Structure formats: C-alpha cells, structure tokens
Chains A and B, each alone.
Chain A
Amino acid sequence: MKSSTFALVCVVVAALVFAALRWYGNEYLFFAGYVVLQFIVLATAWNILGGYTGYVNFGSAAFFAVGAYSSIFFHKTFPLPIPVLIVIGGVFAGLVGLGMGYLTLRLRGAFFAIGTLALAVVLQTIITNWTYLGGSRGAYVIRPDEIALVGPYVQYLFLLMLGLAVIAIMVARGIEHSQLGYGFATIRDDELAAEASGVPTLKLKLIATTISGALMGMAGAPFPYYLGYVQPGTVFGLEYAVNSIAMPMIGGTTSWVGPLIGAILLASLQQWATVKFSSELGVLFVGVLLVVFVVLAPKGIVGLVEGWRRGKV
C-alpha cells in the first residue's frame, strides 16, 4: 500500500472511531479512549527505538514527563493552544532523546537500558525540586469545560490524541518501509557488521532516539489538560515505563502493527480493570501477560499470527 493511501485509510478509520463515539454519546468513553490512544502513541514511539534498533528504553516515563512539564511551564509563563504545546513538548523530548542517543556511543544492551532508567531518575529529581513547576506538590491546570467547534473539552483532547496516534503510526510505518528502517534492522541484528557494510550506525541511532523521544513527549504534552493536575509521581510513574515496553512486546516488535494491537488490547483491559476492580489490578494484568508472552510467544501476537499463517501455507 502506498503511503498516501495508508494515510487516507488511517484518517478514515480515525474519523469513524470519533464519529462512532460521538454517536454513542457516553462522555466516559472519550475519557478512557484518550488513555488508550495515548498508549498507542507511547508504544509506537518506544518500538521505533526498542523494536526496530533493539535498544531497550526503560525511561519512557521521563520523555512523557518532559512533554507534560513543558506544557505546565508554558501554561504558567505564556499560555499557548494545545497543538502548539504538543509540538513544543515534542521538541524538548526529542532533544532529551538526542542526548540519550549519545549514551549508545558507549552503552549497549542491558547497560543502555540501565542508563535510560538513570536518565529518568535524574529528570524526576530535577522536576521534583523545581518549585516553579510545582515541585513535589504538583501543579494545577484549570482548563475550560468547552471549546469551540468540538464541544466538550475531553472530546477535543481525545481528537488531538487521535491525530497524534495517526501521526505516530504513519511515522513508524514510513520508517519501516524506508532505507532508514533497513538500517535500523541491521543495527538490531549486528552493529559491527552494519558499520562494516557502511551503515552510519551512530547517526541512525540518534535519529531513532530523537524520533522516539519526540513522539513520547508529544503524547505527554496534553496530559496536564486531561487530568487538571500533574505531580512528578504520576507522570514519572512505573505505569508508563512498563506499559510502553509491555505493549510492543505483547503485540510484536518487528512492525508498526504490533504496538498498535498491544496498546489497544492492554490499555483497554486496564481501563476495564480499573473501573471494575482497581487500577493496581490493571498493572498486575499487564505484568502477568508480559511474563506469559515473553515465555510462550516472544515474538508477540504478530509473531503468533505470522507463524500460524506460515504453518497453513
């Protein structure tokens, strides 16, 4: 499928989803749907680095938080419309991503993963002690109830996140089908051999960490407006780090479809568990599923389906 056709399909699907929810008319669905979409963006973004190049990032929450806190900063100093804040959050988180990319100069495998975790801790410490951004007490954002054209504010946020999810998926698919994706795969398989074949591995890794980080930051930028209150413990929470890894792993890391399936499945399951039981149980579900998949189906749902199809042929 050509990229333009694919983009059209994505937009049509997104429009149908929005129309269907509007028609159903339950405001809670937008509220829950926003979270699902946010995880589609996070999982897809994580996969661009973790799935395509094989560098595992444990610090997703930090990038999400950079996006969220850049919005807080501008909300306090110079209020801007949310789409602009999304771009700004993306730029900041992309820069942090670029910095993280330089870690890959010396760190590989588990050591890189630990490095990203350390990065998250450092950023959390900075934010917690930055009183202007609310420090450990957190920061409030008063948002309007309604917005022109769309109506209820939560629907507006939902729509923005829907757009971001479409962009993230198109970016991921675009990379996969391009020379860039080809180079990423060689890095995942064997970095030394990639260099010997002429692949500029450092440059490609920096591109991957920057795009991945920027998308995560973009997902975090509208978050303060969604919840109305942000504190470091929430946005740096384990939930984001674990989910952004678990969703692609469970869906399958080799293509853009995997994180999408994983995110829809797990985030919906979590939302359901949160309402029915408790949010802790939701995280437990993810943990158990992750263990099951890592042991039984390391290539995720996409891998299972591919194996099944190949078996039939």
Chain B
Amino acid sequence: MKCYIGIDLGSTTTKAVLMDAGMEVLGQGITNSRSNYETAAAVAKQEAHIGARLTLFRRGLGDAVTGKNANELMEDLELNIRLEQFLEQLEDLRATCASHIRNGQAGVLEALTEVFERINAEAPGMFQRGARRRSDFFRDIAGSRVMHIGEEVAKTAGVSFETLLNLYDKSIIDVENRPPEGDMAAKYRRALHRVVESDPHLKVDEATAQDAMSKAVALELEETYVVGTGYGRVTLPFPKEHIRSEILCHGLGAHMMYPETRTVLDIGGQDTKAIQVDPQGIVENFQMNDRCAAGCGRYLGYIADEMNMGLHELGPMAMKATKSVRINSTCTVFAGAELRDRLALGEKREDILAGLHRAIILRAMSIISRSGGVTDEFTFTGGVANNEAAVKELRKLIHENYGDITININPASIYTGALGAAAFARRAVENGAGETAP
C-alpha cells in the first residue's frame, strides 16, 4: 500500500508519522536526535512502521477481539515489541562493551555479564502495563540501569565501577547508532504469542490473531513520498522538494488535528513560534522568538537544573503555588540569579515557579501578539504544552486578552510537525510528484 511519511528532525527528538492514502495516521515514532540525524530518522521511521503494523493488525483482527480486551491486547503487544527491541539492543550493548575489555582486566567480563544478566531479567517488568520508565529511549533506560546495577555489582565483584562505566561510555554511541535490525516478522509473532499466553483473560484465539498478524506484516508499506522538516532537515540527503520548513509543517499539522485552528503556538526547546493559518492550514503569518532564548523550553531546563529538579517536576510544583511571584526578566542567562534572588528574599519555591511559568507564557503572548493575535481556534503544541502550570497561565492570559477562545491541546502534539510533513507528502503526490507545493 502507498504510504506517506513525515519526519521532523527536532533539536532534541526526532519524530516520524506514517500516513495512508486516506490521510489516516497508521503509525508514529519518536527517538532522541543524538548527534546523528540519519540514524534518528531511521529509528523514528522504524518505530512508526511498528505502529503501522499494529494498526494494520488491529484492522485485520476486526471484531475478533473487542472493547477493553482489544485495548489491552494492543497495549501489551506494543510493550512486548518494545521489549523485543530493547533486548536486542541490550545484547548488542553487552557484546560491544565486552569487546572493549582489555587483556588483564581480571573479573571485568564476569561483572559485566552479571550486570547485563540482571538488566535482562528485570526488563520484562519494565515493559509491563503501568510500569514507569524514565524514558522510552534505549540510551536513557540502559544508561540508568547500568549506572544503578553496575555500582552494586562492582562493589560485590571487587572491580572498579569506573571501569564498567568506561566500557559503557565507549559503547553506547555506537550501539545507539545501530538500531535493532533483527527479523521483525519473528518479533511480532513472538510478542503476540507471549501476550496471548500470559494474558489468557483477553480470550484471544492465537491462530486467528497470528493469521491477522502475518497478513499485517506481509503487507508491503511502500514509501511513496517522504517529507522532512525540523532543524536537522538540511543534514539529511533529502532532495530540496522533499523539505518543508517546520513552520509550514506545524501549521498544517495543527490544522490536521483541529481543522478549525487559526492560531498555533508552539513552545519547543529552542524556539517559540506563533503561526496564523487559513482554513486550509496554509500559513499566513508567523513569528518566532528573536535571538533571545527567553521564554523557550530551554529556559525551564535551566530553572530545573538550577533547582536540581526534573523538567517534568516543575509544572506540578508550580501548581501548588498559592501566589505567583513576579519575575521581571526571563533572561536565560540570569535565570539562576533571578531564582536565587527570590529564594533569598524568602519566597517559596512553588510561588517562584508559578511566576516563572507566567513569565515564559508572557513572552509567548508577545510573540503571538506580534504574529497578529489569537483567532478562534487556538492550538498549543510543543513540549511546554505538556506542562500543566504553563497551560494554566496560557488559558488565563488568552482569556484575558482575546476573550472566549477554544484552546486545543493534543496529547500527541509532539507529532504535529511530523504530521504536517506527512500531509505535505500526501499533497505533493496528489498534485503530481515533484511539485514543491501542496
């Protein structure tokens, strides 16, 4: 079947969306951008393919499984495939680490093997429904487990933790840039088998399911047209007509999610953009933050570092505020000083954080104002859209300044750019391949 792929090469994450001819999203994938956009794009695309196979499998399964059971089945299946991928990469990491052991490092191989055996053993637990993972990226999971387990093992085995860590550091980049390439069809089959077997209450007939899976896996997903966007777009060997700016992709992506969208705000790690789109999703005007990074996601990153907190903990803490401390400068350079100054004055952390969230949203409001203000409907995307404190301030300020406006925030908003890119890919073919415009 014909497929249209959009890839958004962001500065921190790379996203891919795979779409069918009817402009329905079959699958989406995300990975960390690392320093290698080519691999990042390949990994994101592979993830999107997995999503697509699962969607096709679900379609093929039809009414054989329904309701809650179906949802659980799909969720478990996805987790199991992730587990398969994780284990394959983990084995690669182990082998690579082992290859770096120098002669004469007694006991290191044994310790290493022990570490990886333990991670192997706990892996299924990490990929269970409801389990909390720090991240879905291999590097993050493997890294944190090697750190944790490595320290214990080193202690008991009497080898230096440093040595183990060194092996990991030497290997991780290579491994990360060597995405799993084992036989996918077998992985789908194994995963499905494991799910059916471990969850008898789902009442799935394995033969029927495996049959649907085989068909889904056998279907050829033709890469009819690929469009790239995002910061890394120019580093990919894409012909020029396959590249769209993230502004255009974001506008169209937001339009795809919410067709009534007229104003889009995206607050990402590196920049903030306000985009005005027409009823067809065509960009009419856009403004981005200027040279100054004040008010971008990165600002929150600095604050988190300064407070020794995780980025995702900032919003919840700010929500506990009883008042909002006025922050006059969102200058990223002065973020630390501003913060310490308020703390020194005896202000509470949550109240300061509430003020900081307000300050970055105020910056965004200015950029929106620059682009022409807010017209119903308003769609908010980007990493900061997941931050409830930021969203709260935004709702308040939009209401105060522009009145009763519908505000859309999609949980999958991180895929907005890739979605727009996929839609551009579809439109390009519609208008005759090679056309540069929709």
Q: Are these two chains actual partners, yes or no?
A: no
